[in-house]
Chains A and B, each alone.
Chain A
Amino acid sequence: MIQQRSIGVLALTYAPLLLYGLVVLFLAALAPQFLSVANFLNILVLASPVAIAAIGMTFVLISAGIDLSVGSTMFLAGAIAGRLVVDAGWPVVGVIPVMLAVGLGVGLLNGWLIARLKLVPFMVTLATLFSARGAGLWITETRAINLPDSFRQLAVVHPLGIPLPILILVVVLLTAETVLRRTVLGKHLYALGYNAQGDEHENGREAAKAGIDISAVLLRVYAIAGLCAAVGSIITLAQLAAVSPNLGQGIELEIIAATVLGGTSLFGGRGTAGGAVLGALLVETVRNGLNLVNADPYFYPLITGAIIFGAVLLDSMRQQRLTLLRHRNIRIPKAIG
């Protein structure tokens, strides 16, 4: 730890935020309409499903795990909700707890397999990725389900003058930050993840020595990820007013990318929920900007890819400078994460 923070260190510490500002300025220069409160709220609303799922992913990544099943969980929760609303005539308020329960259920299953049976997170969640998607396709028989207008209202209502998706995002973010910073679970999680680096089969041997109930922590971590995915699914359904067979397909990469862009390490022990939200916003902002300037569709992946690369490059240069500034004489590179 350093005691005296120079301005340079301070600026570098908040570099992700500065970088985001830079992207915003760049897009504003391209499209003047970009800089408006309405558009920024619009970006927040659009980004909220991925951002919320990314907050859940932050917990998993801090524990040095990974959850590939979030996209399929979103689909499964949506598929069940769709059938209940359309075929069984359930009210919208009735299916929301069911969706949350589905997310929690898949999360607990992942957590149980990983925590109690000590299986590799990548493989377990890869298996649930396929199984949950298959189950959802079975339930919907691969047909799209159109939801009634009452579902869409969830995305449109403005309690306190703020769109509901943003409100939900803020509540989830504040809860997550509190859990990570102020609770025993949070402390244990960082300790567990920090010590897990290197060998998954000795997952947190040091942490165990320190008296942490590893499997209890891991179980909760995956449950949280599943729950967050379900919340993201609710917002997505409200926005689309439909469940399509490819809902959430491949979104796990976008969610993990958002989390890592926000400074969370895939190797555990490091990360914040706020960073994950920032990462999700960055990706959505770029898409918004490209839509606004009516860019050639072929350029979307090129520009998005280049901006992510640039962001990561700047961030890693910042990390190296920070390490240098903090301990001037030790120059051993950190683990590549």
Chain B
Amino acid sequence: MPSKHFISWLFQYPVLWLSFGLLLVVLPVRPEIASLANLEILALSTAMLLVLAIGQTFVLITAGIDLSLPAVMSLASVVGASLIGGEGPLAGSPFAVSGTLLAMGLVGLAIGTLQGIAVGVFRMPAFLVSLASLMFFGGLAVWYTRSARIALPDEFIQIWYGRLAGIPYPILLVVLLAACAHMILARTVIGRWLYAVGQSLPASFVSGVPVQRTILFAYMASGLCAAIGAVFYSARLHTGSPQLVENEVLLDCIGAAVMGGTSLFGGQGKILGVLFGTLFLALVGNSLNLLGLRYWHVIMIKGGVILLATLLDATRHRMQPVLGGLT
């Protein structure tokens, strides 16, 4: 029997019941949506977006924003592919995959560090810092391969297509990552610092939070998540590409975080909420694909669904006093 506590918890994430609502609406029209194959596709798209959204959430909690994500992913993708693909120096070596993963992670961490220093130490506005990175590193990725794509070998592709006990690797890895991120935010001192910095930077400075290191950590986490995302996206497409994702993915992952209760003004945000926000957006994309509507209707409906989710979120806020009595 659901307790009052559980109901109130449900109301915290309206985006979750909106997802169920959407599923119920689409199900009679396209029963394929509940097929096992499709549910796996849905889980995989959620996992892909979740990796990026987790990194973004760390930054959003500190009242920052990381627009550089598509560029970090593209650069990591081509750097990795240039090592392991074709005639690359790591191709065929026993450390091919591990070396490539290391290099890709380093790309993400390096750009994250750079941005963290710019925002944390030099107090530059996060929006512009990451926008400049988006341009610069995005351009660097295209320049690095001179627009070419690089095919990835089978052993790298296995990271996406491989399975353990029937469950695809990426789902296992993302569950692990989400659990780590949740622990960091909810249980560690660095998590408390992140929220403190986001809530009030001067106050946290006065009360002894190492502001600079905390901000640096957030951007490094975001860079690393972008690099992990790059591994997944590249392996899935068999391709190291200097335009691995479109900039629209930014709006998707920030949107997912915000729908899951993360504030753009910092200090708020939970991994569970972000998971629900991501699930919702993945479901919207999946449903629209299955419905096969005309191009412009797809875009309009996407806008409508986002508005709907926002409306429900506002309703929740207004009903909070009523629900407060439940718990």
Partner of A333, one of B143, B211, B296: B211
The contact string, 1 if C-beta is below 8 Å from chain B, for chain A 285-319, is 00000000000001111101110110011011101
The contact string, 1 if C-beta is below 8 Å from chain A, for chain B 311-325, is 101100100000000
Q: B194 within 8 Å of A by Cβ?
A: no
Task: Give the Cβ gap from A5 to chain B, nearest Cβ, in Å.
Answer: 23
Q: Is the CB of B255 within 8 A of A123?
A: yes
With a CB–CB cut-off of 8 A, which chain A residues contact B142? 298, 301
With a CB–CB cut-off of 8 A, which chain A residues contact B159? none
Q: Is the CB of A305 within 8 A of B133?
A: yes
Given contacts A123-B310, A301-B135, A333-B211, contact A313 B124 (CB under 8 A): yes
- A residues adjacent to B (C-beta < 8 A): 64, 66, 68, 113, 117-120, 122-124, 126-135, 137-138, 141-142, 197-201, 250, 253, 256-257, 260-261, 265-267, 298-302, 304-306, 308-309, 312-313, 315-317, 319-320, 332-337
Top 10 A-B residue pairs of the complex, sorted by shortest distance between their CB atoms: A301-B139, A305-B136, A130-B303, A134-B300, A131-B303, A134-B299, A305-B135, A127-B307, A138-B296, A137-B296
Q: Is the CB of A309 within 8 A of B139?
A: no
Q: Total number of A-B contacts with CB less than 8 angstroms? A: 185
Q: B247 within 8 Å of A by Cβ?
A: yes
Q: Provide the main secondary structure of the chain B interface.
A: helix
Q: Is the CB of A126 within 8 A of B255?
A: yes
Q: Is the CB of B123 within 8 A of A200?
A: no
Partner of B118, one of A138, A141, A253, A313: A313
Q: B69 within 8 Å of A by Cβ?
A: no
Q: Is the CB of B146 within 8 A of A298?
A: yes
Q: B205 within 8 Å of A by Cβ?
A: yes
Task: Give the Cβ gap from A103 to chain B, nearest Cβ, in Å.
Answer: 17
Q: Provide the main secondary structure of the chain A interface.
A: helix
Given contacts A137-B295, A198-B200, A333-B205, contact A261 B123 (CB under 8 A): no
Q: How far is the CA of A159 from the CA of B119 in the complex (A)?
A: 46
Given contacts A122-B264, A308-B132, contact A301 B138 (CB under 8 A): yes
Q: Is the CB of A260 within 8 A of B310?
A: no
Partner of B143, one of A68, A302, A336: A302
Q: How far is the CA of A123 from the CA of B310 in the complex (A)?
A: 7
Q: How far is the CA of A304 from the CA of B137 in the complex (A)?
A: 11
Q: How far is the CA of A261 from the CA of B135 in the complex (A)?
A: 15
Q: Is the CB of B205 within 8 A of A332?
A: yes
Which chain A residue has the least Cβ–Cβ distance from B264? A122
With a CB–CB cut-off of 8 A, which chain B residues contact A123? 255, 258-259, 306-307, 309-310, 313
- B residues adjacent to A (C-beta < 8 A): 62-64, 67, 118-119, 122-129, 131-140, 142-143, 146, 199-202, 205-206, 211, 215, 247, 251, 254-255, 258-259, 263-267, 294-304, 306-307, 309-311, 313-314, 317
Q: Is the CB of A130 within 8 A of B122?
A: no
Q: Is the CB of A304 within 8 A of B135?
A: yes
Which chain A residue has the least Cβ–Cβ distance from B143? A298
Q: Is the CB of B314 within 8 A of A128?
A: no
Q: How far is the CA of A301 from the CA of B135 in the complex (A)?
A: 5
Q: How far is the CA of A122 from the CA of B65 in the complex (A)?
A: 13
**Interface pairs (11), CB distance under 8 Å:** A127-B307, A130-B306, A131-B299, A131-B300, A134-B301, A141-B296, A257-B131, A302-B135, A302-B136, A316-B122, A335-B201
Task: Give the Cβ gap from B254 to chain A, nearest Cβ, in Å.
Answer: 7
Partner of A253, one of B64, B131, B317: B131
